[in-house]
Amino acid sequence: MVSIADIVAAASRLESVIVETPLISSPVLDEIAGGRVLLKAENLQRTGSFKMRGAYNLLSQLTPEQAALGVIAFSSGNHAQAVAAAGTELGIETTIVMPEDAPKIKIENTRKLGGKTVLYDRYTGDRETIAREMAAERGCEVVPSYDHEHIIAGQGTAGIEIANQCAALNVVPDQVYINCSGGGLTAGCAIALVDAYPDVKMFAVEPEEFDDTTRSLKSGVRETIDVTANSICDALQVGIPGKITFEINKRLLAGAMSVSDDEVRDAIRFAFQHLKLVVEPGGAASLAAILSGKVATQNKVTVGMLSGGNIDPEMFASIQTEGV
């Protein structure tokens, strides 16, 4: 399992690599919530999402022999970009298996950052199987997007930052909502924040059709997603929670909830109009939960995660136009 010491060590490793993203507030959002809301703007992180934290933390700990063989990852885009950027910085060749219908901006940016891409059909192929078969042929390491101790520890550094920033503001968070896919960011932040604030309530937020963590927490075992499931939240489309991440989240989370695509669209519009931030669908899930009233925020300090900002310009423009 991952400990707070692992996350502290990751923070030291990442100190000169990542950006300490701001914890922002909005009088408009506070008024809607009836309490204080703070948003961790990881959409302003290097490569446009929190993923650089975990990718660099793992790649930087490879042995020289492992690094020389290169690495393979599988991702819908944000992890892909982070692995490519971390690999370029560390001089490690990277190959990423990506769905062919991933946002074009994510595929293009992955290539620009130095990654080689292998595209597949997400409805007929399995990205992890493809990646692991390629890695076996080459004898190289696979860089999972969430279910790895080093990845979880790296993502948890966002939680340490939230804790330190809350302390600097002299506020104690009552509850924290984290956008959840495979559960790496959720698990890492839960470890860090529960260590800093033992009474804090941690929640995962998912798309309605990808509510595997929500259902898994209720049943106590890892639940799967129907292969026909769809959502505009491309960054949160995982078929089953990770083994490691679920064990951590089962122990530390107070619960989980899901949001609709329309609620996510409302959150994207709100972020642009009132926060002046560009947030991608998967990055807006926790804000969507807060704005939709699914979260009890009255007279509480609530922290939400804006986990990414890599959205296709066409989709972003369409969502903004819908709100006119």
Per-residue pLDDT reduced to its tens digit, 237-290: 999 999 999 999 999 999 999 999 999 999 999 999 999 999 999 999 999 999
How does residue 51 score in pLDDT terms, banded at 50, 70 and 90?
very high
Are the folds of 4-46+149-322 and 52-143 the same?
yes
Residue 39 has pLDDT above 90, yes or no: yes
Domain 52-143 has CATH 3.10.20.30: no
Q: Mind listing the pLDDT tens digit for each residue in 131-152? A: 999 999 999 999 999 999 999 9
**Is residue 323's pLDDT more than 70?**
no
pLDDT band at 318 (very low <50, low <70, confident <90, very high): very high
What's the mean pLDDT in 42-63?
Answer: 98
292 pLDDT exceeds 90?
yes
Provide the pLDDT confidence category of residue 324 given band limits of 50, 70 and 90: low
Q: Are 139 and 38 in contact (CB under 8 A)?
A: no
> pLDDT tens digits, residue range 162-188?
999 999 999 999 999 999 999 999 999
Instruction: Return the domain boundaries, the chain.
Output: 4-46+149-322, 52-143
pLDDT classification of 306: cutoffs 50, 70, 90? very high
* Confidence check: pLDDT of 159 > 80: yes
Looking at the predicted structure, is the pLDDT value of residue 72 above 80? Answer: yes
Mean pLDDT of 205-226: 98
* pLDDT for the residue numbered 1: 85
Tokens 């959720």 belong to residue: 186
- Tell me the C-alpha distance between 158 and 191, whole Å: 11
pLDDT for position 104: 87
Q: What is the mean pLDDT of residues 38-61?
A: 98
pTM metric for this prediction? 0.95
Q: Which residue has the tokens 């993502």?
A: 155
Query: What CATH number is given for 4-46+149-322 in this structure?
Result: 3.40.50.1100
Average pLDDT over residues 186-193: 98
Q: In this structure, which amino acid lies at residue 141?
A: E
Mean pLDDT of the chain: 96
pLDDT higher than 80, residue 295: yes
3-state SS of the chain is CCCHHHHHHHHHHHCCCCCCCCEECCHHHHHHHCCEEEEEEHHHCHHHECHHHHHHHHHCCCCHHHHHCCEEEECCCHHHHHHHHHHHHHCCCEEEEEECCCCHHHHHHHHHCCCEEEEECCCCCCHHHHHHHHHHHHCCEEECCCCCHHHHHHHHHHHHHHHHHHHHCCCCCCEEEEECCCCHHHHHHHHHHHHHCCCCEEEEEEEHHHCHHHHHHHHCCCCCCCCCCCCCCHHHCCCCCCHHHHHHHHHHCCEEEEECHHHHHHHHHHHHHHHCCCCCCHHHHHHHHHHCCCCCCCCCEEEEEECECCCCHHHHHHHHHHCC
pLDDT at 78 (0 to 100): 94
Across 198-221, average pLDDT: 98
pLDDT tens readout for residues 92-134: 999 999 989 888 889 999 999 999 999 999 788 888 899 999 9
Percentage with pLDDT > 90 across the chain:
93
